[in-house]
Chain A
Amino acid sequence: MPRYETVIGLEVHVELKTRTKIFCDSTTEFGGEPNTHVCPICLGLPGTLPVINKKVVEYAIRAALALNCNIAEFTKFDRKNYFYPDMPKNYQISQHDLPIATHGYLEIDTQKGPKKIGISRLHMEEDSGKLVHQGTITTTPFSLVDYNRAGVPLIEIVSAPDLSSPEEACQYVEKLRTIILYTGVSDCKMEEGSLRCDANISVRPVGTGRLGTNTEIKNLNSLKALRRSLHFETERQIEVLRAGGRIVQETRTWDEGKGETLPLRSKEQAHDYRCLPEPDLVPLLIDRQWVEDIRGSLPELPEQRRQRYIKDYSLPEYDAAILTNTKELADYFERCVRAYSHPKAVGNWILGEFNRLLNLHGIEIAACKVTPQNLVSLLRLIDQGTISGKIAKVVFAEMFTSGQAAEAIVKKKGLVQISDRHAMVPVVEKVLAGNPGAVADYKAGKGRALGFLVGQVMKATQGQANPELVNKLLKERL
């Protein structure tokens, strides 16, 4: 029986966070009462005409440059015609044969090392509205339409069929998301639909050059759904082929509840979009200087940043990767490093306690009360021996919830480390007297007993004792 390999290509839709819609002045703000973020143009009223929002073109170019694309000198819009009530004009203004950008790539990390994933094209288009059903689409007595999202700008990013596993597909989306977030053109929130994903998938016997018949999976609104659906579809296709069957080229939808992909429409039922050049918009000639200006304004991208952290800060590869995963985290890290020249220590704190508490409380870094200056002050208190590393965690937890400075908390709670020999001796002697068993063990050569005794001293001082001093005092007396 042949072994099969999977071939996956992704189409990712990203909502651009321009202030106004792609062809009119209506706001793109999320939410709002239904049909309040609309005007005659995005409602497609008779006689209205679209006018391209220059910011949308700029953002598309920005994203495309970050994805290493070629920017077209001549690009135009087209109409994709099909009837659906969430589309005000019953056509979508999109880009068909001359997209704004082509031939890009991004790199993902695989077990075999970095892998380049091609990006065949990136184009601009308008979003549609939203149908609101009572219950499900099949049982609802009527549906309502909300056009607030109609005309919100999107870019569609189409990958080459270069992904060979569901895991690679997820990595690609995560990497894409990180890069786009860095460029600042989108929020990329999968749960709010500002990043959406469709997948094309086929399987073929290992070693064959030709692509197998593919299916398209829609409705993938989380990375989990993407991974699960691709696994399911891989297995399903292999099973069909092994049973001597043929894959039907069709569009399938992911049913999260059932955990399976289900047929939506066959190739015969596929839309014939009857594309035509949009006669209401003139083609765009993209000025090269403008492109270069946009390129110049791009921030340092995650890949470059990661390399710099490894090289300049001598961070381990893993730490550098996680710290650069989001722009916010990396910016935070750098603000700390600018005030405190031990990048490794900063990295440890951010990847340790800091991240743990962020995750625990479900807080975005932007909303975190601990400023980089405060984190640095805390690290200095440790260096100066004012508090122990252990106490620092307690102080940090307090900083995290109250937003107070480290010094203030240490002072208020009396958490200063006890390094005074005279103050410590009575405590140490009391512990030795109270634990004759451990003392005997130590003397019998069981080194571990010392750790136990140190722990007892720390406990007695609520962790404030200087651990080095405790060690020293204990050894002197044993």
Chain B
Amino acid sequence: MQLFLLTAHEIHELLIKKEISAEELNKAIYARIEAVDDRIQAYITRTAGKALDQARAVDKQISNGEKVTPLAGIPIAIKDNICTDGIKTTAGSKILSNYTPPYSATVVKKLEAAGATIAGKVNLDEFAMGSSNENSAFFATRNPWDTSRVPGGSSGGSAAAVAAGAAVCSLGSDTGGSIRQPASFCGVVGMKPTYGAVSRYGLIAYASSLDQIGPFARDVTDCALMLNAICGHDPLDSTSAKQRAMDYTSFLKDDVRGLKLGVPEEYMVEGIDPDVRDLVIKAMEKLESLGAVVEYTTLPHTDYALPTYYLIAQAEASSNLARYDGVRYGVRTEGTGDVMDMFMKTRSEGFGAEVKRRILLGTYALAAANYDHYYLKALKVRTLIKEDFVQAFKRYDLLLSPVSPTTAFPIGEKMDDPLQMYLSDICTISVNLAGMPGLSIPCGFVGGLPVGLQLIGRPFDEGTLLRTAYTFEQNTDYHKQYPDL
């Protein structure tokens, strides 16, 4: 039995039957990290010591006959833009390469309260800006299915770690597709919950009105267990919704009969790789055969989503990233002149090219002379895009689409062409603009590389997403395939 290939709910059974210990499990995951991570390069910081202490505590609880949660003892990797008390948190940037937060993000506290162990901090595009992990200031994480290819981004480390067995589950963050696209590229389940479903307190902000933390898992059940642990109102985050706690596993039913699923035409045409499209069509047919009603529909403002997203996200980013000035924390480059000189040198040397590009774009969009033409207009279009979804959800319970137009691309292929890179987010960004929940589930392979199917739901209707994904999973076996490492 290879422990590192099991899901959390399978491991939980073994733990409570005392067939394995949490300590053994964590050691097994560490052995796996040691074995594969020099090839995958998912981890920026490994926290074996702390994880083993946490695991032993769980073992003690189990041997005392105490009830433990389904995530107790489960090693979880945390994207390195989510703050962990006493553990270095870099956001993939040189400017925070020496930064250790004095507090933990709410999601981390919740996972720890559930007994999960922290396997370590995983790689990302700098400040979550990117779709390939190549924008990390440290190294590019590899796709476990083909190490010459990218794992996707920005939560590439989170997806690759789970796909490679180097963590059982992980946390990522999704601003324009940063959970769903790497989940698709790496063949795991990834979910961006509804905006406000999960606290952002402790998530290093990229674009505050779009950012949302969510889980990666090897199957839908684990995804539901992760949601159980991390969702809920947080008084420290004013934008977190005051929703009642619910058990997301209650939605795991093998039944989609009567569900009405819409497929936005706009996501199925231009730029979509025909092989990817064929797999999405096959998935539609599969769900139809299981009793769902599947129809084509339309989201008419889709063409405007990309420019709208880039204006809003970058405007917020330019403000959010202003605090990295070398005064209070992080890396400082001493200037020769006054404090402004120190600011400029620190930021010029501390930020990578893509981050600078986005800060410049956002600063430009917010300048008094441009505000009405760019930022304000983008806010208005955002409302129209949201309205598209509202209309669609009057007729459909869920929307289906590809996650990404292509499978994982070779490292280096799009680095010189930012626009090409941005286009790979075309199917995912509208979901963030509208604040809806989205999920990526494996739906097949093209040339040995995984392809994800995107499910988009009504706000706070994660349940229907999980139910549909679970049904699809129960009737396919893509999630049971593992990369050969």
> Measuring CB to CB, which residues of chain A are less than 8 angstroms from any residue of chain B?
40, 43-52, 79, 81, 83, 85, 88-91, 143, 145, 272-276, 279-282
Nearest to B321 among chain A residues (CB) is A90
| B208 contacts partner chain A, Cβ-Cβ < 8 Å | yes
User: Which chain A positions have C-beta within 8 A of B204?
Assistant: 46-47
Tell me the smallest distance from the CB of A89 to a CB of chain B, in Å.
Answer: 5
In the assembly, what is the distance between CA of A46 and CA of B340, in Å? 21
Tell me the smallest distance from the CB of B90 to a CB of chain A, in Å.
Answer: 10
- Which stretch of B19-27, B99-107, B252-260, B350-358 is in the interface? B99-107
| B249 contacts partner chain A, Cβ-Cβ < 8 Å | no
**Contact between A47 and B325 (Cβ–Cβ < 8 Å)?**
no
**Contact between A43 and B328 (Cβ–Cβ < 8 Å)?**
yes
**Contact between A47 and B236 (Cβ–Cβ < 8 Å)?**
no
Select which of A44, A49, A50, A275 is within 8 A of B328 by beta carbon: A44
**Contact between A44 and B323 (Cβ–Cβ < 8 Å)?**
yes
**Contact between A279 and B209 (Cβ–Cβ < 8 Å)?**
yes
Nearest to A41 among chain B residues (CB) is B236
Tell me the smallest distance from the CB of A22 to a CB of chain B, in Å.
Answer: 13
**Contact between A40 and B319 (Cβ–Cβ < 8 Å)?**
no
**Contact between A47 and B105 (Cβ–Cβ < 8 Å)?**
yes
User: Which chain B positions have C-beta within 8 A of A275?
Assistant: 366, 371
| B348 contacts partner chain A, Cβ-Cβ < 8 Å | no
**Contact between A47 and B101 (Cβ–Cβ < 8 Å)?**
yes
Tell me the smallest distance from the CB of B234 to a CB of chain A, in Å.
Answer: 9
Tell me the smallest distance from the CB of B169 to a CB of chain A, in Å.
Answer: 21
User: Which chain B positions have C-beta within 8 A of A272?
Assistant: 367-368
| B322 contacts partner chain A, Cβ-Cβ < 8 Å | yes
In the assembly, what is the distance between CA of A85 and CA of B103, in Å? 23
In the assembly, what is the distance between CA of A45 and CA of B329, in Å? 8
User: Which chain B positions have C-beta within 8 A of A49?
Assistant: 200-201, 236-239
- Secondary structure call for the A interface: loop
Nearest to A84 among chain B residues (CB) is B339
User: Which chain B positions have C-beta within 8 A of A48?
Assistant: 103, 201-202
**Contact between A276 and B101 (Cβ–Cβ < 8 Å)?**
no
| B96 contacts partner chain A, Cβ-Cβ < 8 Å | yes
| B398 contacts partner chain A, Cβ-Cβ < 8 Å | no
| B171 contacts partner chain A, Cβ-Cβ < 8 Å | no
Question: What are the 6 tightest A-B residue pairs by CB atom distance, in nearest-first order?
Answer: A90-B322, A274-B366, A279-B208, A279-B209, A47-B202, A46-B204
Produce 1/0 per residue, B319-339, CB < 8 A to A: 100111101110000000001
User: Which chain B positions have C-beta within 8 A of A47?
Assistant: 81-83, 89, 101, 105, 201-205
Select which of B91, B322, B366, B367 is within 8 A of A83 by beta carbon: B322
Tell me the smallest distance from the CB of B297 to a CB of chain A, in Å.
Answer: 30
In the assembly, what is the distance between CA of A81 and CA of B237, in Å? 21
**Contact between B202 and A81 (Cβ–Cβ < 8 Å)?**
no
Q: A44-B328, A45-B102, A275-B366 are in contact. List 4 more A-B contacts (CB 8 A).
A: A45-B101, A45-B329, A46-B89, A49-B201
Given that A88-B328, A274-B368, A276-B366 are known contacts, is A46 also in contact with B99, CB under 8 Å in the complex?
yes
In the assembly, what is the distance between CA of A260 and CA of B366, in Å? 36
Of A85, A274, A282, most B-chain CB atoms within 10 Å: A274
User: Which chain B positions have C-beta within 8 A of A50?
Assistant: 238
Nearest to B239 among chain A residues (CB) is A282
What are 21 residue pairs bridging A and B, where the CB atoms are less than 8 Å apart in the complex?
A45-B329, A46-B83, A46-B99, A46-B205, A49-B201, A49-B238, A51-B237, A81-B366, A83-B343, A85-B325, A85-B339, A143-B339, A145-B327, A272-B367, A273-B368, A274-B367, A279-B239, A280-B205, A280-B239, A281-B238, A281-B239
B: number of interface residues (CB 8 Å): 45
In the assembly, what is the distance between CA of A43 and CA of B99, in Å? 14
Nearest to B127 among chain A residues (CB) is A46
Produce 1/0 per residue, B367-390, CB < 8 A to A: 110010001000000000000000
In the assembly, what is the distance between CA of A47 and CA of B201, in Å? 6
**Contact between B201 and A274 (Cβ–Cβ < 8 Å)?**
no
User: Which chain B positions have C-beta within 8 A of A279?
Assistant: 207-209, 239, 316
**Contact between A81 and B319 (Cβ–Cβ < 8 Å)?**
yes
The A-contacting residues of B in range 70-121, CB under 8 angstroms, are: 81-83, 89, 91, 96, 99, 101-103, 105
User: Which chain A positions have C-beta within 8 A of B203?
Assistant: 47
**Contact between B323 and A46 (Cβ–Cβ < 8 Å)?**
yes
> Measuring CB to CB, which residues of chain B are less than 8 angstroms from any residue of chain A?
81-83, 89, 91, 96, 99, 101-103, 105, 200-205, 207-209, 235-239, 315-316, 318-319, 322-325, 327-329, 339-340, 343, 363, 366-368, 371, 375
Tell me the smallest distance from the CB of A257 to a CB of chain B, in Å.
Answer: 24
Nearest to B344 among chain A residues (CB) is A83
Nearest to B102 among chain A residues (CB) is A40
Given that A46-B101, A47-B205, A276-B315 are known contacts, is A90 also in contact with B339, CB under 8 Å in the complex?
no
In the assembly, what is the distance between CA of A145 and CA of B329, in Å? 13
Tell me the smallest distance from the CB of A275 to a CB of chain B, in Å.
Answer: 7
Tell me the smallest distance from the CB of B318 to a CB of chain A, in Å.
Answer: 8
**Contact between B96 and A46 (Cβ–Cβ < 8 Å)?**
yes
**Contact between A274 and B363 (Cβ–Cβ < 8 Å)?**
yes
User: Which chain B positions have C-beta within 8 A of A51?
Assistant: 235-238
In the assembly, what is the distance between CA of A91 and CA of B205, in Å? 14
**Contact between B368 and A40 (Cβ–Cβ < 8 Å)?**
no
In the assembly, what is the distance between CA of A276 and CA of B329, in Å? 25
User: Which chain A positions have C-beta within 8 A of B322?
Assistant: 81, 83, 89-91
Nearest to B91 among chain A residues (CB) is A46
User: Which chain A positions have C-beta within 8 A of B367?
Assistant: 272, 274
Nearest to B211 among chain A residues (CB) is A279
In the assembly, what is the distance between CA of A143 and CA of B324, in Å? 18
Tell me the smallest distance from the CB of A410 to a CB of chain B, in Å.
Answer: 62
User: Which chain B positions have C-beta within 8 A of A79?
Assistant: 319
Given that A85-B325, A274-B363, A282-B239 are known contacts, is A91 also in contact with B319, CB under 8 Å in the complex?
yes
Of A45, A52, A282, most B-chain CB atoms within 10 Å: A45
**Contact between A83 and B325 (Cβ–Cβ < 8 Å)?**
yes
In the assembly, what is the distance between CA of A83 and CA of B323, in Å? 9
In the assembly, what is the distance between CA of A1 and CA of B148, in Å? 83
Given that A47-B101, A274-B367 are known contacts, is A280 also in contact with B208, CB under 8 Å in the complex?
yes
Tell me the smallest distance from the CB of A74 to a CB of chain B, in Å.
Answer: 16
User: Which chain B positions have C-beta within 8 A of A43?
Assistant: 328
In the assembly, what is the distance between CA of A46 and CA of B104, in Å? 11
In the assembly, what is the distance between CA of A143 and CA of B375, in Å? 36
Nearest to A274 among chain B residues (CB) is B366
Tell me the smallest distance from the CB of B92 to a CB of chain A, in Å.
Answer: 12
In the assembly, what is the distance between CA of A143 and CA of B327, in Å? 11
**Contact between B325 and A90 (Cβ–Cβ < 8 Å)?**
yes
In the assembly, what is the distance between CA of A40 and CA of B102, in Å? 8
Of B203, B235, B238, most A-chain CB atoms within 10 Å: B238
Tell me the smallest distance from the CB of B473 to a CB of chain A, in Å.
Answer: 33
Tell me the smallest distance from the CB of B242 to a CB of chain A, in Å.
Answer: 11
In the assembly, what is the distance between CA of A273 and CA of B319, in Å? 11
In the assembly, what is the distance between CA of A48 and CA of B329, in Å? 14
User: Which chain B positions have C-beta within 8 A of A282?
Assistant: 238-239
Tell me the smallest distance from the CB of B258 to a CB of chain A, in Å.
Answer: 36
In the assembly, what is the distance between CA of A43 and CA of B328, in Å? 8
User: Which chain A positions have C-beta within 8 A of B375?
Assistant: 276
Nearest to B210 among chain A residues (CB) is A279
User: Which chain B positions have C-beta within 8 A of A89?
Assistant: 322-323
Nearest to A40 among chain B residues (CB) is B103
User: Which chain A positions have C-beta within 8 A of B237?
Assistant: 49, 51
Tell me the smallest distance from the CB of B346 to a CB of chain A, in Å.
Answer: 11
In the assembly, what is the distance between CA of A50 and CA of B205, in Å? 13
In the assembly, what is the distance between CA of A40 and CA of B322, in Å? 16
In the assembly, what is the distance between CA of A273 and CA of B204, in Å? 23
**Contact between A276 and B205 (Cβ–Cβ < 8 Å)?**
no
